[in-house]
Amino acid sequence: MVRCGRVAGRWGAVALAAALVCGVARGETCTTQSAMTASDRDALVNAARNMAGKVVANDAAGLQTVTIAEYAKDFGAIQNAVADASSKVKGATPTVEQVYLLDASDLKPGTDGKPGNAQFLCTLNRSIAETDFSIPSLPAGKYGFAIMEARGIAAPWRLSFLVQQVQGQWQMAGFYPRPMTAAGHDGLWYWTEARTMAKGKEQWNAWLYYQQAEALLNPTEMIQSTHLEKLHDERNAAAPPQLSSGISVETPLVVKGTDGAEYHFVGLGVDDSLSKEKVDVTAHLKVDQIGDPVVARKRNVDAMSALVAAYPELRKAFHGVWVFAEVPGQNSPYATELAMSEIH
């Protein structure tokens, strides 16, 4: 299950259960919650609870004082993330879901002299189940990962922190806020619905609902675990034949409109930003240029009409469709959203 050669994004990590201590050949070790000493566990829990409390209170300045120097000196992006998360978790009570100790004291730098890529493998309950922390460019040291749940509010969130031990104190080295529900449902609900859709041959709906399930169950984007591997396998098995090679700029999904125009979609996903009764489909449309706004909007509307006409089952499972027209290499997409009832 574990892919030790895989490198996830900058300082990513994950965890979903508890158990033992395990290590990898190079010496990185993972100590799960139940295997920690009481003092280690309490110190990590208290540090994470303090950080989560500052997020709930929108105390970015206070959080900056307990952040490692590398990030504290350029705190703008984290400050924005704290402000956004704080608006979602106002009035919540942070509670501990899970904590992990990640010891990379003996991690050697890469051949280029830069910090090496760390792999922490945690065996769960003396079983074959594992959680894989893949953290690239990690300086040698002692780290922890804490997953906090912001509960007691209408839509709970998960606030996760990567922390580093600096002079005996835990300091923040990464912040990962994520919602735990979308359109009023949690990740397990979407997983169950995806399975039902797959059995009913609704492959497009199932494939997208599996995406939503993972987004809600996964504390960060950079993770591997036995639990999520199973979800990935089910999603891949349910994928429509048109997506057998994936979907990307190199392998777009090509859909024809009623007038014969071709639309090249390079990404499909889900979105809950409108907070409707159902999530929306997101479709990323490759274009040569954005052009005039009136023309661009018509192209987006025509593209979503072609997509829904080609795969009409989408009308049943989603509120509407977002189309993002994107020019490769540019960062300013043109977005249009319509409810299914407005798409003809």
pLDDT tens-place string over residues 297-317 = 999 999 999 999 999 999 999
The pLDDT of residue 2 is 32
The pLDDT of residue 19 is 30
Angle at 316 between CA 313 and CA 321, to 5 degrees: 85
Within-domain flag for 272: yes
User: Same structural domain for residues 157 and 122?
Assistant: yes
The pLDDT of residue 7 is 31
Is the model's pLDDT at 71 over the cut of 50? Answer: yes
Within-domain flag for 9: no
Tell me the three state secondary structure of residue 208: helix
Band (pLDDT 50/70/90 cuts) for residue 53 is very high
User: Same structural domain for residues 25 and 109?
Assistant: yes
Is the model's pLDDT at 228 over the cut of 70? Answer: yes
Contact residues for 6 (Cβ-Cβ < 8 A; gap 6+): 132, 134, 224
For range 317-338, the mean pLDDT: 96
The pLDDT of residue 18 is 30
User: Same structural domain for residues 190 and 223?
Assistant: yes
Cα(228)–Cα(245) distance, integer angstroms = 21
Is the model's pLDDT at 25 over the cut of 90? Answer: no
Q: 312 burial class (0-12, 13-18, 19+ CB within 10 angstroms)?
A: exposed
Band (pLDDT 50/70/90 cuts) for residue 223 is confident
Within-domain flag for 164: yes
Is the model's pLDDT at 115 over the cut of 70? Answer: yes
Within-domain flag for 301: yes
The pLDDT of residue 331 is 86
Range of the domain at 58: 21-179
Residues of the chain above pLDDT 70, percent: 90
For range 188-194, the mean pLDDT: 98
User: Same structural domain for residues 229 and 251?
Assistant: no
Neighbouring C-alpha atoms within 13 Å toward the C-beta of 2: 15
Is the model's pLDDT at 243 over the cut of 60? Answer: yes
Domain final position from 152, 179, 206: 179
Cα(292)–Cα(19) distance, integer angstroms = 57
| Beta pairing class for 93-104 and 280-286 | unpaired
Number of domains in the chain: 3
Is the model's pLDDT at 121 over the cut of 90? Answer: no
The pLDDT of residue 87 is 96
Is the model's pLDDT at 13 over the cut of 90? Answer: no
Q: Could you tell me the end-to-end alpha-carbon distance of the chain, in angstroms, rounded to an integer? A: 45
Its pTM stands at 0.87
Q: What are phi and psi of 133, to 5 degrees?
A: -95, 115
For range 80-108, the mean pLDDT: 94
123 against 323, higher pLDDT: 323
User: Same structural domain for residues 265 and 280?
Assistant: yes
Band (pLDDT 50/70/90 cuts) for residue 213 is very high
Band (pLDDT 50/70/90 cuts) for residue 144 is very high
Mean of per-residue pLDDT scores for the chain: 89
Using alpha carbons, select from 181, 172, 179, 169 the residue that is nearest to residue 146. 172
User: Same structural domain for residues 118 and 189?
Assistant: no
Contact yes or no for 54/148 (Cβ under 8 A): no
